Structures are given as structure tokens and as C-alpha cells.
Amino acid sequence: MLYYEFSKEKGRFMPRDAKTKQYIYIVQALLEPTSCKIGITNDLERRLKEYNNITGKSKGNKSRYLFTCEVKDMAEVENAVKDTFSALREEKSREIYFYNAKLFEGYVKFIKSHKMFVREIYIKTDETKPIVKIVKKTTPTLEERGISSKDVLQKAQKRKNDEFYTRLEDIEKELSMYSKKVWKNKTVFCNCDDAVGDGEKDTSAFALYFLQNFKELGLKKFICTHFGDNGDLFNQGTKGYVFTKDGFHEFKDYPKGYTGSFDDPLSLKILKEEADIVCTNPPFSMAKDYWEITVNSGKKFIIISNITNPITPAFIPYFKDNKVWAGYNRIDYYLNPKRELVEASGHWYTNIPLKNRPKYEHLKIIPLKDIPAKYKYYDDAKTLVVDNCFIPDDYKKPFAISARPILNGILEKGFKIIQETQYFPYKKGVKKFGRVLIQKE
Ligand SMILES: C[S@@+](CC[C@H](N)C(=O)[O-])C[C@H]1O[C@@H](n2cnc3c(N)ncnc32)[C@H](O)[C@@H]1O
């Protein structure tokens, strides 16, 4: 049935539906910075009042619009939002969406590009800042965890070298190289301090990448944990989230003493029972332990580690046994906790087959006699040493190379590492930097 109402705007009776404007909005309560609500209404002002009647009861927890716009068919846009961002909706309430500045940009971009979008509406809201920030106490005390403050100090010292955060652009550059099939219906586990908070400072770019691309990659599940050890730089305490197409929930019922460490029993259980692919930048100071657990888990992985791993004793066996190989890219810049750019040489490593490694082009596999003299020599032990990615294709004996040819894929070109230890050439008694010995198969 069609109802008619007098429209002051038009000066005549109009069908009610034709007169009523339709809006979609994103609203947030000041004290709930990691969530927002996306909804529809015919009356933005009234809806905000309704929200404030609920959340505004608690002092300082006012709701405000982050984005509002007029649309032609609000139900259609809302359904499209629900469908596209299904993993970012809270599993139980279904009303709450995960909020983070970057995810918010994604919501807005999606709505604005919808065919039913009419125009953005700016509403000036009361910008009262929250007086207190409520931080959920999820981190157990030192006593509860059975450690002393001295342990914490020692750890803090060690951690200094671990606080390098990966940039989103480096993650995008690497992960976009893998076939979509790699991710389809898979559970991805980010297990080294990969939390998502409301802003860039407390967000791991790994978590952000998988949240932004959840649907596009066709993921089944995404699990991320935040390492909540004392001195925790994301400052969120131990946390873990599970995202599926039916929504997300925070880990419930953490076992006593759970720190979010990759080797904690709960993290190991997730790794063993749920994860298909592990993806993160683990702490440099614990790379040896991390590799041992991850490589031996039998799961697929794409991780970041030091660029010299192929010639570092603890890691050479993985390359020798073909359990790990270099990913596509190196990484030269990270962010420190203040989000300043810092330089450090890392590389991606994986056990997922690569297609057409572009860096094969850097390998110069040619007869020994054609290798320029300045890039080849025999050391004091008469072992051939080659540099600058030159590789002799007609040399039958073992010869020494640096990490670079391995990162460029030489082990996929019919050569194998023949010794698990580092090889140090001596030239006229002078020790040169460490290498590995390889040989044509
Ligand atoms: C190189 S940072 C990378 C952080 C984040 N994954 C990223 O890529 O931006 C390594 C992180 O691992 C955390 N960490 C240290 N020990 C850990 C452990 N045992 N388990 C999990 N994370 C740990 C450090 O606090 C640090 O934040």
C-alpha cells in the first residue's frame, strides 16, 4: 500500500517512500575505539540521540558519526557492506564492526563507490575527548606468571632488536606475488605480535593486510595473536582474534599465563590444529627457535628473517634440505615503535612453491672461463670462490658462494648445498667472510 504525506519541501502530497531520505552511517562510541557500527536510518539526528541514550550513559562515552551519507537504497547498500565485510563484524552481535583507521577508509571507499551512493553528509559532532581510556586487564601480573622484574629487564634488552615493524607496502609487495589459490579456503595464522588496534601505532600490518583482503583472498579463517609480554609495545596486553566469514571474536578463556608467545602451548595448538599458513615477521632474537617450530610444523609459511640466513650456521640445513627457500623480495626498511623508518636487511622466506622467480635474471650461470677474473679466485685450500652472482655451469667440484645467489634461486637451478656449516675462505692467510659450499647436481 502506498501512503501519502504532505512534503513541506515539495509543497504537495508525496508518496511517503519518495519523500523520505535514506542514509547510511558509521558511528563510534568514544571509549570503544576498536569498534564501530554501520547502520541505516531515515533520520540521522534521531539515530545519534538513540545511540547516546545507550552509550552516553557512561560519562565520556558519547557516540559520534565518523561518516554519514545519503543513498538511494539503504537496505541494498547495508547488505552489500554486511556481505563484503562479513569477517569484520562481531560474531555474536553482528552489529559491531572492527574499527581501525585503515579499515575505516575501506568501509568509506566501499560505500562511496556503491552505485546507490548519493552524497556524503558532514555532521558536526561534539568532539569531546574521552577522559579515561579503559584498558582491559588481560595481562597477568609478574607474580601470576612466575617471573621477576630482573627477568623482565633482561628480556627488554633482548627485545630492543626485535621491535622492527613490517610496513604494509612490503607485505603487499610480497604476498601479491603468490597465486590466489594459495590462500583459498585456508586458515592464516599470524603469531608474532600481530595485533590490530584502532590506530597505526598499535596495529600490525600483517593483521591489517589479511583483514583488508580477507574476502579477496577467499580465506577460511584468520587468527592473529598479540604478544603481551611485559614491555609490550603495542600496549594492548595479550590478545588474540579469530576472523571467519561469519564474523570475529576475541580469544575467550585464555589459559592462565598465556602471553601470546609463538611457543606458548595455546599458540602451538593453533599452529598444529588450525593453521594452514603461518605468516609474520618473528623477533630476530628468536629466529632460530621460531624457524625450528615453524619449519618442522609441516605447515606452509611466508615469513621474514635476516637476509644472511642462507649462510648462517643455524639456518643452512633448512636450505640444504630444501625445507625453506627465499621468497620474492628483500626488505630494507622497517618501522620502529615510534613509527620512524629504520634500516635493516631482511628477506622473505617460504616453503610455498614460487612461480617464475624474477630474480633468476640476476644469476649469471656461464662457463668458468667466461667469469671475469675479479669475480673468481681459488682460496688457500684451492677451493673456487665466485662472486657477484656468477656461477660456473661446467665446474664439477664444490665451490663457495655468498647468500645472494641463494636468494636469487640458484638452488632451483641444478645446484645443491653440500655442507651444513659455513665455509670461510682464506686468501693468503686472510680470513674472508663466510659463505656456503655448493656443487652442480
Ligand atoms: C620484528 S617484530 C614484528 C612485529 C609484527 N609481527 C610486524 O611484522 O610488524 C617481532 C615482534 O615479536 C614480538 N615477540 C618477541 N618475542 C615473542 C614471542 N616469544 N612470541 C611472539 N612474539 C614475540 C616482539 O615484541 C616484536 O613485536
Residue 304's SS3 state is strand
Instruction: Give nearest CA residue, ligand 1 atom 9.
Output: 165
Q: Which of 347, 333, 350 is nearest to 165 (CA)?
A: 333
The alpha carbon of 336 and the centre of ligand 1 are apart by a number of angstroms equal to: 12
pLDDT of residue 140: 43
What's the CA gap between 196 and 251, in Å, rounded? 13
- Beta sheet of 117-121, edge-to-edge order: 96-98, 35-41, 22-29, 63-71, 117-121
Q: Which residue spans within 173-264 are E strands per DSSP?
A: 187-190, 221-226, 239-244, 247-250
Rounded Cα distance between 256 and 209, Å, is 30
210 C-alpha to ligand 1 centroid (Å): 17
Which of 217, 223, 235, 233 is CA-nearest to residue 262? 223
- Tell me the CA–centroid distance for residue 92 and ligand 1, in Å: 30
Of 97-111, 227-241, 357-371, which range is least confident? 227-241
264 compared with 134, residue with greater pLDDT: 264
Span from the CA of 281 to the centroid of ligand 1 (angstroms): 7
> How high is the pLDDT of residue 13?
64
Cα 192 to averaged position of ligand 1 atoms, centre (Å): 4
Q: Residues 158-194, buried b or exposed e (16+ Cβ, 10 A)?
A: ebeebbbbbbbebbeebbebbeeebbeebbbbbbbbb
Cα(239) to ligand 1 centroid in Å equals 13
From the alpha carbon of 206, which atom of ligand 1 is closest? 8
204 alpha carbon – ligand 1 mean position (Å): 10
Share of the chain above pLDDT 90, in %: 70
pLDDT of 68 above 80: yes
Q: What is the pLDDT of residue 304?
A: 97
Distance 162 CA to ligand 1 centre (A): 6
Q: Check if the beta carbon of residue 204 is closer than 8 Å to that of residue 281.
A: no
Taking the C-alpha atoms of residue 274 and residue 252, their distance in angstroms, rounded to an integer, is 16
Kindly report the protein residue whose alpha carbon is nearest to atom 11 of ligand 1.
283
Please tell me the chain's helix, strand, coil percentages from 3-state DSSP, rounded to the nearest 5: 30, 30, 40
Instruction: Kindly report, residue by residue over 144-160, the tens digit of the pLDDT.
Output: 444 455 454 455 455 55
Q: Which of 418, 417, 163, 426 is nearest to 282 (CA)?
A: 163
Greater pLDDT, 370 or 141: 370
pLDDT at 197: 78
Which of 168, 192, 307 is the best mutation target for the ligand 1 pocket, counting ligand atoms within 8 Å of the beta carbon and taking the most? 192
- Is the separation of the CB atoms in 402 and 311 below 8 Å? yes
More confident residue, 18 or 383: 383
Confidence band, pLDDT 50/70/90 cuts, at residue 9 = low
Mutation pick for ligand 1 pocket among 170, 175, 194, 227 (CB with most ligand atoms within 8 Å): 227
Mean model confidence pLDDT for the chain? 87
Please say whether the structural domain 161-355 has been given the CATH code 3.40.50. Answer: yes
User: Ligand 1 centroid vs 318 CA: distance in angstroms?
Assistant: 22
What is the DSSP code (8-state) at residue 340? -
C-beta of residue 426 within 8 angstroms of C-beta of residue 345: no
Reported as a pLDDT band with limits 50, 70 and 90, residue 233 is very low
Alpha helices in 96-141 (DSSP H): 101-112
The pLDDT score that the predictor gives to residue 239 is: 78
220 CA to centre of ligand 1 in angstroms:
24
DSSP string for residues in 11-67: TEEEEHHHHS-EEEEEEEETT-TTEEEEEEES-HHHHHHHHHHHGGGSTT--EEEEE
Ligand 1 shell residues, CB under 6 Å: 159, 162-166, 192-194, 204-206, 227, 233, 261-262, 280-283, 286
- pLDDT band at 137; cut points 50, 70, 90: very low
Has residue 101 got a pLDDT over 80? yes
DSSP count for the chain of H helices, then E strands: 13, 24
What integer pLDDT is reported at residue 426 of this predicted model? Answer: 97
- Single-letter residue type at 49: K
What separation in Å is there between the alpha carbon of 283 and the centre of ligand 1?
A: 5
Q: Residue 358 in 3-state DSSP?
A: helix
Q: Domain map of the chain by residue range?
A: 2-124, 161-355, 359-440
| Other residues' Cβ atoms within 10 Å of the Cβ of residue 34 | 20
> Within 13 Å and on the Cβ side, how many CA atoms surround 162?
21
Ligand 1: which of 102, 160, 162, 209 to mutate, most ligand atoms within 8 Å of CB?
162
pLDDT at 296 > cutoff 80: yes
Beta strands at 277-280 and 117-121: parallel, antiparallel or unpaired: unpaired
Distances (CA, A) of 403 to 48, 354, 377, 437: 60, 18, 17, 11
pTM: 0.86
Evaluate the CA torsion angle 273, 277, 282, 288 in order and state its sign: positive
What's the confidence (pLDDT) of residue 7? 60
174-195 pLDDT per residue, tens: 999 999 999 999 999 999 988 8
Angle between helical axes of 205-212 and 101-112 (0-180°, round to 10): 20
To test the ligand 1 pocket, which listed residue (193, 196, 233, 267) has its Cβ within 8 A of the most ligand atoms? 193
Band of residue 10 on the pLDDT scale cut at 50, 70, 90: low
**Atom of ligand 1 at shortest range from CA of 283:** 10
- Contact between 146 and 316 under an 8 Å Cβ cutoff? The reply is no
Beta bridge partners of 242: 223, 249
Closest CA to ligand 1's atom 18: 261
Confidence check: pLDDT of 201 > 80: no
Alpha carbon nearest to ligand 1 atom 16, residue? 283
Encode pLDDT of 254-276 as tens digits: 777 788 899 999 999 999 999 99
pLDDT in tens, 314-360: 999 999 999 999 999 999 999 988 888 999 999 999 999 998 899 99
